[in-house]
Structure 1
């Protein structure tokens, strides 16, 4: 089965390039649009040297939410990695959003759920003068995701398995 190749582009609030890489457009369900990166996919963070991911992963881009989610198969130590971001925007085979620093992570080993990079969020909130609505949406999304990921409610249950199977 062949899938359309698209581009995933995360930026920082000042417009600078953050993570960016190709992905396969896998499909859409009630949770949003799913893309996949097979093992060997090459990505870059800003102007840093490219990296090659050894394990496949899938990304979920909800249609109206202030986050994106990456689902990693075993043996990856991070089972789920959610980026708090602006609502993903689609145009000409590219999905773009602004990474707002906060991350919600579920560790595979013990199932702990963590909120990461609060210090970076506070630093960038001041440096880039995040508007009040951006701060409020970012914090609300992080709180909602912490609960949903910890409770393993869809799509943070086994929903990603069928999409991972398409690229593994």
Structure 2
């Protein structure tokens, strides 16, 4: 394993601080888009304290700098090509990246369909957790930016992720 490829822990929480999705992934490197982590087929992840799930396909995760989203790029034949979580800005400390999942997701299926998912959950949690206006604005702005960027096939949503994915396939 190359020196820069070390394990990182990925921890999403909900706005109230409760544990959400978490897993370990291999740090692949950085580029102008952010920090890239990778997972081979067979990697596991856990939602909260539920039993772990095992992924059938490889994928890479992107944690951009100063942006209110994260992204997962899945290897074929997974039907979801790109899955972006709207979240607070990812924060790195001692090999752990943490962020608050803000419910909204932007998804591009392999057939090219693109949509925002979980708007109902965002509306519900906005009230339940008392999202401040600035959090709501940043989340909605990030979702719209992703819809535009992914829809226009801007990088890294076209080919930029493929070199990273090739490292774990």
Q: CA deviation at 1:165?
A: 0.8
Task: Measure, in 2, the Cα distance between the counterparts of 1:78 and 1:42.
Answer: 18
Aligned residues: 167
CA distance in 2, matches of 1:151, 1:129: 33
Question: Pick from 79, 82, 87: which aligns with 2:84?
Answer: 82
* Alpha-carbon shift at residue 54 of structure 1 (Å): 1.2
Instruction: Confirm whether residue 129 of structure 1 aligns to residue 144 of structure 2.
Output: no
Kindly report which structure 2 residues correspond to 1:1-168, keeping only aligned pairs within 5 A, or say none.
1-2=1-2, 3-109=5-111, 111-168=112-169
Distance 1:152 1:99 in 2: 24
Verify the 8 A CA contact 1:104 1:146 in the aligned structure 2: yes
Once the two structures are superposed, residues 32-71 of structure 1 have per-residue CA deviations (whole angstroms, 9 ceiling, x without a partner) of: 0000011111110011110111111000000110000000
TM-score (norm 1): 0.98
After superposition, the CA RMSD in angstroms is 0.7
SS in 2 for 1:39: coil
Tell me the distance in 2 between the aligned counterparts of 1:104 and 1:143.
9
> Unpaired runs of 5+ in structure 1?
none
> So what's the TM-score if we normalise by structure 2?
0.97
